[in-house]
Structure 1
Amino acid sequence: MYDEQLNRLTFDQQGLIPAIIQDAETAEVLTLAYMNKESLQKTLETGETYFYSRQRQELWHKGETSGNRQIVRTIRFDCDSDSLLVMVEPLGPACHTGKKSCFYNMLQEHDTRDQMGINELTNLISQRRNEASEGSYTAYLFEEGIDKILKKIGEETSEVIIGAKNNDHEEMTWEIADLTYHTLVLMELMGVSISDIKQELDKRHAVKEGSANE
Structure 2
Amino acid sequence: MSRLKPLELSLLSGIDTIRYNEKGLILAVIQDCLEGTVFTWVWMNAETLEKTLTSQQVWYCQDPEILLWNSEIFVNEIRYIDENPMIIIGVEAQHQELSGNTLSGLFDVICERRDYPQLESYTCKLLAGGDNKILKKIGEESAEVVMACKDKDKDAIASEVADLFYHTLVALAYHHVDLRDVYQKLEERRN
- The correspondence for 2:167, drawn from 178, 182, 188, is 182
More RCO (CA 8 Å, sep 6+):
2
Alignment correspondent of 2:85: 82
Contact 1:159/1:175, CA 8 A, preserved across alignment: no
- The correspondence for 2:179, drawn from 186, 189, 192, is 192
Query: TM-score, normalization: structure 2?
Result: 0.63
- Report the Cα distance in structure 2 between the residues aligned to 1:198 and 1:131, rounded to whole angstroms: 24
Change (3 A) 1:202 1:83: closer
Query: TM-score, normalization: structure 1?
Result: 0.58
Alignment correspondent of 2:15: 6
Q: Describe the superposition over 1:110-154 as per-residue Cα deviations: whole angstroms up to 9, x where unpaired.
A: xxxxxxxxxx5413314535888xxxx9x9366568444634422
Alignment correspondent of 1:32: 41
1:197 Cα deviation from its structure 2 partner = 2.7
Find the residue that maps to 1:190 and give its secondary structure.
coil
Q: Describe the superposition over 1:171-203 as per-residue Cα deviations: whole angstroms up to 9, x where unpaired.
A: x95766533321123335532323233156469
1:30 Cα deviation from its structure 2 partner = 1.0
Q: Describe the superposition over 1:52-77 as per-residue Cα deviations: whole angstroms up to 9, x where unpaired.
A: 223xx22222223xxxx322222122
Alignment correspondent of 2:68: 61
Q: AA paired with 2:167? A: H
RMSD of the TM alignment (CA)? 4.1
- Report the Cα distance in structure 1 between the residues aligned to 2:80 and 2:136, rounded to whole angstroms: 48
Contact 1:23/1:88, CA 8 A, preserved across alignment: yes
Alignment correspondent of 1:153: 134
Find the residue that maps to 2:34 and give its secondary structure.
coil
Instruction: Answer with 43-52 or 143-152: which moved more.
Output: 143-152
Gap regions ≥5 residues in structure 2: 1-7
Change (3 A) 1:186 1:161: closer
- The correspondence for 1:140, drawn from 104, 121, 125, is 121
Find the residue that maps to 1:7 and give its secondary structure.
helix
- Report the Cα distance in structure 2 between the residues aligned to 1:125 and 1:85, rounded to whole angstroms: 26
Change (3 A) 1:183 1:17: same
